[in-house]
Amino acid sequence: MIRQERMRIVKHKEIAHHIFEMTLAGQLVHDMYSPGQFVHIRVSDSYEPLLRRPISIASINHKDSEFTMIYRAEGRGTTMLSQKQIGEELDVLGPLGNGFPIEEAAPGETVVLIGGGIGVPPLYELSKRLVDKGVKPIHVLGFQSKEAVFYEDFFRELGETHIVTVDGSHGQQGFVTTLLAELQPEFTSYFTCGPTGMLAAIQNMYHDRKGFLSFEERMGCGLGACFACVCKTTDQTEVDYVKVCSDGPVFPAGVVSV
């Protein structure tokens, strides 16, 4: 069920340059079932900024009724979010969207998880779930520079992890696609989240492979009602368009025309 709840901030800290980790507590957590789902957050009670901000769920802790998200303080809304204090309440709508299909990977299989920048967070909960299920993940994570890297150790704990940075200040220099081309990993399917350019490159590179991509698009309602977040589909698909907020944000490779 989708709920609107004033959730309490129980943890909040900067974990990399302008990158914040925030943990929220509330009943809404119990409706979260899938990594890759997102929440829609109102950063202020005022009308300025007006719209909610979509942020992915990075990890779910049902036991303590908590979930964690990781976001980059960039524009007006996320900067205001970054100023919130522990103990304050936040108006959260969620969980929204479909999430990554864990059922698509079978125990014993190897999968690649490819993340770029603030596309990395949802892969964390995904990886945990996959590992729990006996799937072996290989993580390929791209960042702008050393200062922007986060959760490296957490991912290493779960499996093989490769870091690339655009400026080469940490890990290998280049893009995730450069590294993947070199690495040529064996895998049965891939899961990825990141900037649209990266998703396009990956979908091209692995055009004949099974994969699942999580997309971003500017949103209004976040619920599927306003047609703000539509993406054109490819000829392979029956429908003319999909909505990122309600049909996605995760789509099988080949569905969204990039």
Partner 1 sequence: MNRLSIELPGLSLKNPIMPASGCFGFGKEYARLYDLSKLGAIMIKATTLETRLGNPTPRVAETSSGMLNAIGLQNPGLEKVLAEELKWLEQYDVPIIANVAGTLTEDYVEVAKHISKSKNVHALELNISCPNVKCGGITFGTDPTVAAELTAAVKEVSEVPVYVKLSPNVTDIGEIARAVEAGGADGITMINTLIGMRLDTRTGKPVIANGTGGLSGPAVKPVALRMVYEVAKQVSIPIIGMGGVATVDDVIDFMSAGASAVAVGTANFVDPFVCPNIINQLPEKLDWLGLNHVSELVGRSHR
Residues that bind ligand FAD (CB under 6 A): 38, 51, 53-56, 69-72, 74-78, 118, 121, 216-219, 249
2 binds, among ligand FMN, ligand FES, its own copies, none (CB under 5 to 8 A by kind): none
Q: Tell me if 47 contacts its own copies by CB under 8 A.
A: yes
Write the binding mask 220 to 239 for ligand FES: x where contact by CB under 6 A, - elsewhere. Answer: xxx-xxxxxx----------
Q: How many CB atoms lie within 10 A of CB 196?
A: 16
CA angle 29, 122, 9 (to 5 degrees): 45
Residue 55 assigned to a binding site: yes
The answer to whether 44 contacts its own copies (rule: CB under 8 A) is yes
231 assigned ligand-binding residue: no
CA angle (42 as vertex; 115, 31 as ends), nearest 5: 65
The verdict on 234 binding partner 1 (CB under 8 A) reads no
Known binding residue 211? Answer is no
The dihedral built from the CA positions of residue 77, 81, 82 and 83, taken in this order, carries a sign that is positive
Structure tokens at 204: 């091209």
Identify the bridge partners of residue 137 per DSSP, sorted by sequence position: 111
Start-end of H helices in the chain:
76-82, 121-133, 152-158, 176-183, 196-205
Hunting for tokens 């900037």 — which residue is that?
195
Residues that bind its own copies in the complex, under the rule CB under 8 A: 44, 46-49
Q: Which residues are annotated as a binding site for FAD?
A: 53-56, 70-72, 77-78
Residues that bind partner 1 in the complex, under the rule CB under 8 A: 1-2, 4, 42, 47-52, 77, 93, 217-232, 240-241, 246
Residues that bind ligand FES in the complex, under the rule CB under 6 A: 219-222, 224-229, 243, 245
